[in-house]
Structure 1
Amino acid sequence: MSVEELLVSAPGKAILHGEHAVVHGKVALAVSLNLRTYLRLKATTTGKVSINLPNIDTFVCWDLSELQPLTQYFRGKRDEIQRVDGELVRILRKFVGATNENLDSCDMAILAFLYIYFLLFASSELPSLTVSVWSELPTGAGLGSSAAYSVCLAAALLCLSRVIPTPLKECDHTARWCQEDLELINSWAFQGETIVHGNPSGVDNAVGTWGGMLRFLAGKIIPLNRVPLLRILLTNTKVPRSTKVLVARLKDKMNKFPSIMTPVLDSVNAISCQCEKVLSEMTSQPITGEHYNILEELIDINQHHLNVMGVGHPTLDMLCRVTLAKGLHSKLTGAGGGGCAITLLRPETHSMVVQNMVQDLKDCGFDCWETSIGGPGVQQHSPLTVKQEIMEILNQY
C-alpha cells in the first residue's frame, strides 16, 4: 500500500468500572468503543499543508513557505518525545494566533497536528499534504475523541515519515501494526493528548492504540489480551459537567467521612476486579446467561456507589429508570454529573426492544448509539472497508 495515501482509524473509549476510584489508587477498567475516528492523509504536490476537521468546523491551509521558518526550532528534537516542550508549543500558539489562555477544541487540534508534524519532518524537507478527519464520536463527552484523533495523527504521520511501515498489504482490507510500532504510535499520540489536555493519564490514547480493555492502577496501564465483544447502548445526556469539580466533590466526602467512603472505594475496586474475572472467563469458556447476570449486577452496584460518591445526576437516574423498565442495566461512564452512560445489551435482547428504548431516551432529550465495546485499536484500512458515508466526507477534501 502506498505511503502517499493512508486511511487509518482509532476507537473511542469508555470506563467500564472504576471511574473516580482510580484517582484514589483503585483499579479502573477502560474499554474501546466501536465508534471510531477516521483519518485520511494524502501526500500532494501543491506546496500546501491542509487540515480538515468538519466535525468541529475547522479548515486550515498553509503554504510551505509559511511553515518553513518554524523548522529551526524543531530540528534535532525528534528523539525528545518523552514530554512536550512548552517553549515549542508557545511558538506554535503564536504562529496560529492562539493567544488566549483557554484554547478551544479547534486550536488544540491544530496545535497537536503541527507539533507532531514539525517534530517528524523539521530536519528534512517538509512534505506537502492534506489531512482530513471524520469522527463518529461526539466531542467533549468524555469518550476519548481527542485521543482517537491523536492516535490517528501519530500513526499516519509516522508512516509518512517512514519511521514505521504501513502494515496494509495489497490484498488486505484492514491491518494492524506490530507491538513495537504500536508502542511508538502510543508515545507520539500521548504528545498530542498532552497538548489537548495538559496532564492526561495516558489511558485514552492507550485504548485508542491497543483497543480491547485496559487495566489501570496507580499509573500503570496493562492491556488485557482477550476480552469478549459486548453489545452496549451508549447514551449522552448532553448535561455538561466539570471533571475537576466532581473529583473535588469526592475528595471532600473522603475527608469528611473517611470511615464511610473508604469502604465504598474498596467495593468499587472489588467490582472492577470481579468484572475483569468474569470477562476473562467469557473468553475461555462458553458464555452463559449467568455471566451476563453478574455483569448486570456489577453495573447496578457500581451505579449506586457512584451516586454515594456524589458524582451522579438526576438525568442519569432517569436514564437508569428508562432502561430498567425494559429489563436492561445502565451506569454512568467517565466523570459523571451528567455526561454519558452505558447500557449492557444481552445477546438475546430483541432489536425492537432496543429501538423502543432508544426512542424513550431520545424523548428525554438524549443522544444514543448502539455499538459494542472491546473492538480493535488503531488500524489501517483499505477505502473499500470504510462506511460509504464516511468515505464520501473524507473524499471531499
Structure 2
Amino acid sequence: MDTKEHSETLKLHTESWWSKEELELINSWAFQGERVIHGTPSGVDNAVGTWGGILRYHAGTITPLSRVPVLRILLTNTKVPRSTKSLVAGVRDKIKKFPSVMHPVLESISAVSVTCELTLEEIASDPMPEHYAVLEELIDINQHHLQVLGVGHASLDTLCRTTLAHGLHSKLTGAGGGGCGITLLRPDADCSVVQNVIQELKDCGYDCWETSIGVPGVCLHSASSLTEEVAQALNSN
C-alpha cells in the first residue's frame, strides 16, 4: 500500500471507529487533563491523540495536514522529570529579557516547521531518500534552536549523541528539560542497528520503543486483538 492509500485508509478507519461527536467529547476531556498537567496547554497533544495524523499549530490555531506520511520513530523516555509550566515560563522570561536575540530564533523555528511540512507533503506524494535526509537536517537544526531557548538537558544530549553514533537523528519532544525525545528512522533502517540503539539507550537508563507517527488517533481495541505483552500490562494495573 503506498503512502496516499495508507493515509486514506487511516482516515476511513478513524471515521468508522468513532462519530464526530464522540471524538469531540474525547478531545474535550483530554484537553482538561492537559490543563491539569500544563496549566495553559496549546491543545495540540490532545488533538493529535484524538484525531491522529499530523497537525499544524500556528498563532493558536490547530489545522490537520491533509496528506501525511507514516514515519517510523524511536520514542525515548529519559525518565528525567520536568515541569512544563516552569520551562514555558523560562522561555517567556528569556524572550522578554533578550527580544532582539530570541525573536529571530523563534522565526527560524517557524521556518523549520514550514520546510518540514512541505517535505512531508512531498513524501506523501512521492517518497525519495533525499526527503528523509532533509528531515534529519531539520531535526538537528530544531534541536539546536530548542537548546538556545533553554529547554535542553544533559539527558537529551546523551540521546542525540547515542543515536547519531549510529547515523540516526534525534530531538526533544514536548516541553524538553528531560522528558522524551524522538529519533527518525528511515523506511530502510537496518533492524539490527535499530535494536542496538534501543539497547544502548536502555543501558543509559532510558525507556525506548519503536513506534510510528502520522497514524490514526484514539482507537478502540477488542480484548482479543491485544498482544500478550499488552494484555499482561493492562491486567497488572
* TM-score, normalised by the number of residues in structure 1: 0.52
Aligned residue for 2:143? 303
Change in CA separation of 1:311 and 1:194 when aligned onto 2, cut-off 3 Å: closer
Aligned residue for 2:96? 255
Equivalent residue letter for 1:254: I
Q: Which protein is bigger by CA-based radius of gyration?
A: 1
1:116-127 mapped onto 2 (5 Å cutoff): none
Change in CA separation of 1:364 and 1:385 when aligned onto 2, cut-off 3 Å: same
Matching of residue 318 in structure 1 with residue 150 in structure 2? no
Q: Once superposed, what is the RMSD of the aligned Cα atoms?
A: 2.3
Change in CA separation of 1:396 and 1:271 when aligned onto 2, cut-off 3 Å: closer
- Structure 1 residue corresponding to 2:173, chosen from 307, 329, 333: 333
Change in CA separation of 1:226 and 1:364 when aligned onto 2, cut-off 3 Å: same
Change in CA separation of 1:191 and 1:362 when aligned onto 2, cut-off 3 Å: closer
1:145-175 alpha-carbon deviations (Å, 9 max, x no partner): xxxxxxxxxxxxxxxxxxxxxxxxxxx9x94
1:77-92 mapped onto 2 (5 Å cutoff): none
1:198-224 alpha-carbon deviations (Å, 9 max, x no partner): 543322221121011111122221122
Change in CA separation of 1:345 and 1:396 when aligned onto 2, cut-off 3 Å: closer
Change in CA separation of 1:347 and 1:393 when aligned onto 2, cut-off 3 Å: closer
Aligned residue for 1:388? 228
Aligned residue for 2:75? 234
- Structure 2 residue corresponding to 1:363, chosen from 203, 207, 210: 203
Q: Distance in 2 between matches of 1:275 and 1:386?
A: 34
Report the secondary structure of 1:372's partner residue.
Answer: strand
Equivalent residue letter for 2:129: G
Matching of residue 278 in structure 1 with residue 119 in structure 2? yes
- Structure 2 residue corresponding to 1:214, chosen from 51, 55, 60: 55
Q: Distance in 2 between matches of 1:194 and 1:315?
A: 26
Report the secondary structure of 1:311's partner residue.
Answer: coil
Matching of residue 200 in structure 1 with residue 36 in structure 2? no
Corresponding pairs, count: 224
Comparing both structures, which one devotes a greater share of its residues to helix? 2
Report the secondary structure of 2:220's partner residue.
Answer: strand
Are 1:236 and 1:366, in contact at CA under 8 Å, matched by a contact in 2? Answer: yes
Equivalent residue letter for 1:221: I
Q: Moved runs in structure 1, 4+ residues, more than 6 A?
A: none
Q: Distance in 2 between matches of 1:271 and 1:313?
A: 21
Comparing both structures, which one devotes a greater share of its residues to strand? 1
1:1-397 mapped onto 2 (5 Å cutoff): 175-194=16-35, 198-284=39-125, 286-392=126-232, 394=234
Are 2:76 and 2:207, in contact at CA under 8 Å, matched by a contact in 1? Answer: yes
Aligned residue for 1:76? none
1:12-53 alpha-carbon deviations (Å, 9 max, x no partner): xxxxxxxxxxxxxxxxxxxxxxxxxxxxxxxxxxxxxxxxxx
Cα shift at 1:297? 0.4
Change in CA separation of 1:193 and 1:249 when aligned onto 2, cut-off 3 Å: closer
Q: Distance in 1 between matches of 2:163 and 2:54?
A: 25
Are 1:228 and 1:282, in contact at CA under 8 Å, matched by a contact in 2? Answer: yes
Are 2:151 and 2:175, in contact at CA under 8 Å, matched by a contact in 1? Answer: yes
Are 2:38 and 2:84, in contact at CA under 8 Å, matched by a contact in 1? Answer: no
Cα shift at 1:383? 2.9
Are 1:250 and 1:310, in contact at CA under 8 Å, matched by a contact in 2? Answer: yes
